[in-house]
Amino acid sequence: MKYFFTLAILCCLSFAASAQTQNPTYNKALADSLGADNYGMKQYVLVILKTGSNTTTDKEKLNQYFRGHMENIGRLAKEGKLVVAGPFGKNDKNYRGIFILDAKTIEEAQKLVETDPAVQAKIFDVELYPWYGSAALPVYLDTHSKISKENP
């Protein structure tokens, strides 16, 4: 019985040891430059943009807010703070779009979001959540700039 118990423990330990393997293509310099943890992940802030309380129908004002919104998106992307942005399709939750910000805290992300003219004007309200995702997200933007035929 003692032999069987020892054998069972050794089998379990060998299984646990083999469950995690080292990645043979791991690039430490790249991982470090992107702020990746051992799993290639890092902390971001997910921002959900929702329809805000400003219900203006003035088309010139709305165009101004949205132009400022798009310019702010471009600026944050160039600064490396915005890694994902995009609109939602029609839905019953009044969700309009998302940002994923390269920010360590909700407070830091809130300051970044407050630079958006459409948020300032209450065209959009925001919800912010900590989000854990691939540290490689920022490098997809370089590829996107090579495949987009037109810019908004």
Side-chain-facing half-sphere of 149: CA atoms under 13 Å:
0
Under 8 Å between Cβ of 81 and 112:
yes
Backbone torsion region of residue 40, taken as left when φ is above 0, otherwise alpha when ψ lies between -120 and 50, otherwise beta = left
**pLDDT attached to residue 22:** 87
Cite the DSSP H helix spans in the chain: 2-19, 28-34, 59-78, 106-113, 117-120, 140-147
Tokens for 17, please give them. Answer: 């040891």
Task: Please tell me the distance from the alpha carbon of residue 104 to that of residue 85, in angstroms, as a whole number.
Answer: 18
Hey, where are the domains in the chain?
42-147
Task: Please tell me the distance from the alpha carbon of residue 49 to that of residue 95, in angstroms, as a whole number.
Answer: 6
* Under-50 pLDDT residues of the chain: 7
**pLDDT attached to residue 1:** 55
- Return the number of other C-beta atoms located less than 10 Å from residue 58's C-beta: 9
**pLDDT attached to residue 57:** 94
Tokens for 117, please give them. Answer: 């003219």
Name the pTM for this structure: 0.80
**pLDDT attached to residue 15:** 53
Task: Please tell me the distance from the alpha carbon of residue 98 to that of residue 100, in angstroms, as a whole number.
Answer: 7
**pLDDT attached to residue 46:** 98
**pLDDT attached to residue 25:** 87
Its CATH class, for the domain covering 42-147, is alpha beta
Tokens for 47, please give them. Answer: 């921002």
